[in-house]
Structure 1
Amino acid sequence: MFSCKKEKNKNNANNAATVEASINISGNDNKQVIQGFGCATVFAPPNTSALTSEEFDRLFGSANGQVGLNTLRIRIATDDAWRAIELNYAKMAIQRGAKVFASPWSPPANMKTNNSLIKGKLLPDSAAAYAKYLNDFAVYMANNGAPLYGVSVQNEPDWEPSYEGCVWTAIEMRDFLKNHGAAITATRLIAPELVNNNQTYVNTILSDDAAAANLDILGTHLYGGGIIENALATAKGKEVWMTEHLDTLTTYTANLNTAIEIHDCFTKANFNAYIWWYGKRFYGLIGQDGIVTKRGYIVSHFARFIKQGAIRLGTSANTRNDVLISAYRNGTKKVIVAINWGVYNVKQKINFQSAAVTSVIPYVTTSSKNVEQGAALTLENNVLEYTLPAGSIVTFVEQ
């Protein structure tokens, strides 16, 4: 236990007491590869205008005041009008160095049991045609200047909404991947993008070697099932992407909880990517006014500084559980993200083991600051000491 004593926080003057904490970061303990961070542009949210070039800069740029995303999720629409819209968005993302993947909300109506985009299931004798449909969409995008990183089989196959959708059982998804997944040759194949992170459903697929062989990326959402690692995916070397989640609350606590969720996705579930729902929305990364939101700034603590291909590094348990710390390596440079969700300022000691770190720059967000850059900090004997303000997120970037 650390004793609490009243003292002025050197980084963010306030009336909170200051306590102490310590953590070790292992420079040679390599965890998963981080593929990046993203958002979606699918459909047209109410009272939200189309994204502009300047708004794409804010979402996909990595300068001050930008979010730093590198992944865009679009919809495989069945109509030409929406395909043109998503193609334009994909091009703008790719122009900014991002990768794009596409998810269908429904197969074409004529391939379904109820001849409708809403509800229903894929006709068994349409499976081969549907695989060709997915591959043809990837070819269409590539031929029009926006090659895809991947296509998904189905958005949220494990529930039946009142809007566009299609239900698949785990066995149906397994058999489609096994029997028709190899027909998708123009890009990577993503599945199952469950609404719930249901391990029984996922393991039904992964337990079949033929189905797993045709699956490149395991996608999941976080509307149930918890943030947990799929051991079979890890054993079979499959990347796991969190491809959709949202929180409509916009309080500072709710926004800070998004940072905690990202931390948990990487450190508890060993996910490789984190994709928020709408990029532009009142609860999104930019608001309906096109300006970066508090949530956008908080996500940027990860997305701006942790680059595609970064490796997460192992850490010990922090001696205070109200401060969550994760570590990453871009090439040879380390990035540390510290989330102090508690009510105390925390004098945090970070010990780098098997890694030489001499200088870092801190970036601080609180309820009143947005990724505010601080002065460079010089480390002695590979030890960083910094007082984290209560209710803050701080990213340290090695120089």
Structure 2
Amino acid sequence: MKKFIRFTGMAIVLMLLLSIALPANMYAASAVTVDWNTAYQTIDGFGVSEAFHQSNNIALLGEAKQNEIYDLLFSTTNGAGFSIFRSILGDGGTWGNATDGPNKTMQPSETTWDWTASNDDQIPMIKAIQSTYGIKNILYTVWSPPAWMKTTGSVARGSLKTDKYQAYATYLAEHIKNYKSKFGIDITHIGISNEPDLETAYSSCTWTAAQFKTFMSNYLVPTFDREGITAKVIVGEKMTCSESLAIDSLNDAVAVKRTDIVGCHNYGSTYVPFPTTKAKGKGIWQTEISDMNGNDITITDGLKWSREIHDFMTVTQGNAWNYWWGACYKTYNGEGLIQMDMNSKTYKVAKRLYTIGQYARFIRPGWQRISAT
């Protein structure tokens, strides 16, 4: 297992971490002590998403620009070197449009399955980045189950009906099995709910910690065991940096078996330790963060994001950190690292892509963080 420090590209990351941590007047006077034998967490990677049709939007720029964007995001020689790709499990919602909206569902009714590849416009991008850049970590997160499973009869708002818990566990298992057999895609990680503490007019589904525990222990664990599902399960993905929604599952003798990773976001919060998650030996992934407000593409903003990663790695001691969209159609805020103008078929790259890339490109999956003053 490789260590976190390497004195080529990684020296840049070390200097960046030190520059964040130390006052300017201490640079020249301070010595750096690197303790190779004090190892902390193993790093699973850094990632981005192209959910809600952004993968298709990239393709609409034309093959040449599509390949340029792929390189900027995933190349370890010409780009940021992201190693995780986060996708949405299609729910068939009718909100949104072709530029920003949900994918079709592979299970439009309880008795009907439709494994048509075009139902998921992320599949061509996944295949391309896997073959070109060797991306292995493929995360599919559920924003909402299909409408027929929901208390609202819609993918918007509401929660999962209690009498559909088994149907939902089967739904997740079938996606993992069929994506492999029909599309050649290994879903290595499955997120059972995106921001379960938020009810929205777009795809969403609320959960409590107790509901997660019941679903995990009584339905998901036995179903995944029976079907031989090895994909790692991510529980939580709360809007803020917190393990609270996963606590009941972590403390349950059955549910904890497949609570492989506790997920969180970091909207409007600060990074904090996850003591129960650590005590249970489980992983911690920050699966989504971006700037929903302004779109500062300068180095000032870039350094802000480098500090974000530093705090997550050192305070929360997490294993994977993901930005929201890699490239997106929105040019007016910071949801994307790359902003695409769909009218002119051009794009701009924010400096945050490069500062985040100082981590993503040089710290590879399987490396460990070690002690350094």
Shared fold by TM > 0.5?
Answer: yes
Partner SS for 1:85: coil
Shift of 1:244: 0.4
Question: 1:136 is matched with which residue?
Answer: 174
CA distance in structure 1 between the partners assigned to 2:353 and 2:277 by the alignment: 30
CA distance in structure 2 between the partners assigned to 1:209 and 1:82 by the alignment: 40
The answer to whether structure 1 residue 199 and structure 2 residue 243 are counterparts is yes
> Which of 312, 317, 333 is matched with 1:270 structurally?
317
Q: What are the within-5 Å matches in structure 2 for residues 309-328 of structure 1? A: 309-316=366-373
Larger RCO (CA within 8 A; separation ≥ 6): 2
Q: What is the TM-score normalised by the length of structure 2?
A: 0.75
Shift of 1:22: 2.7
Question: 1:241 is matched with which residue?
Answer: 285
Partner SS for 2:310: helix
Larger mean Cα displacement after TM superposition, 97-106 or 178-187: 178-187
1:72–1:93 contact (8 Å) kept in structure 2: no
The answer to whether structure 1 residue 59 and structure 2 residue 87 are counterparts is no
Question: 2:158 is matched with which residue?
Answer: 120
Distance change in 2, residues 1:81/1:195 (3 Å): farther
CA distance in structure 1 between the partners assigned to 2:172 and 2:251 by the alignment: 24
Distance change in 2, residues 1:191/1:255 (3 Å): same
Which structure 1 segments of 5+ residues have no match?
1-10, 317-399
Question: 2:339 is matched with which residue?
Answer: 287
> Which of 76, 79, 84 is matched with 1:71 structurally?
84
Q: How many residues matched?
A: 301
Q: What is the TM-score normalised by the length of structure 1?
A: 0.71
What do residues 300-339 of structure 1 show as CA deviations (whole Å, max 9, x unaligned)? 11111111100100123xxxxxxxxxxxxxxxxxxxxxxx
1:196–1:225 contact (8 Å) kept in structure 2: yes
CA distance in structure 2 between the partners assigned to 1:39 and 1:267 by the alignment: 21
What do residues 172-215 of structure 1 show as CA deviations (whole Å, max 9, x unaligned)? 01111111222234322111111122333232221222111121
- Which has the higher Rg, Structure 1 or Structure 2? 1
Question: 2:232 is matched with which residue?
Answer: 188
Partner SS for 1:120: coil
Which is strand-richer, 1 or 2? 1
Q: What are the within-5 Å matches in structure 2 for residues 30-179 of structure 1? A: 30-44=39-53, 49-50=58-59, 52-63=66-77, 65-78=78-91, 79=104, 83-95=119-131, 96-98=133-135, 99-143=137-181, 144-179=183-218
RMSD of aligned C-alpha atoms?
2.3
Shift of 1:55: 1.7
The answer to whether structure 1 residue 257 and structure 2 residue 304 are counterparts is yes
Larger mean Cα displacement after TM superposition, 88-97 or 233-242: 88-97
1:94–1:146 contact (8 Å) kept in structure 2: no
2:284–2:318 contact (8 Å) kept in structure 1: yes
1:30–1:311 contact (8 Å) kept in structure 2: yes
Q: Which amino acid aligns with 2:134?
A: G
2:236–2:243 contact (8 Å) kept in structure 1: no
1:285–1:297 contact (8 Å) kept in structure 2: no
Partner SS for 2:235: strand
1:266–1:272 contact (8 Å) kept in structure 2: yes
Partner SS for 1:191: strand
Shift of 1:171: 0.6
CA distance in structure 2 between the partners assigned to 1:162 and 1:81 by the alignment: 27
CA distance in structure 2 between the partners assigned to 1:60 and 1:179 by the alignment: 39
CA distance in structure 1 between the partners assigned to 2:37 and 2:202 by the alignment: 48
Q: Which amino acid aligns with 2:145?
A: P
Q: Which amino acid aligns with 1:299?
A: I
Shift of 1:25: 1.4
Distance change in 2, residues 1:76/1:164 (3 Å): same
Shift of 1:159: 1.3
Identity of aligned residues (%): 31
Larger mean Cα displacement after TM superposition, 33-42 or 91-100: 91-100
What do residues 232-259 of structure 1 show as CA deviations (whole Å, max 9, x unaligned)? 1111110101100002432432221100
CA distance in structure 1 between the partners assigned to 2:319 and 2:76 by the alignment: 20
Partner SS for 1:285: strand
CA distance in structure 1 between the partners assigned to 2:71 and 2:36 by the alignment: 33
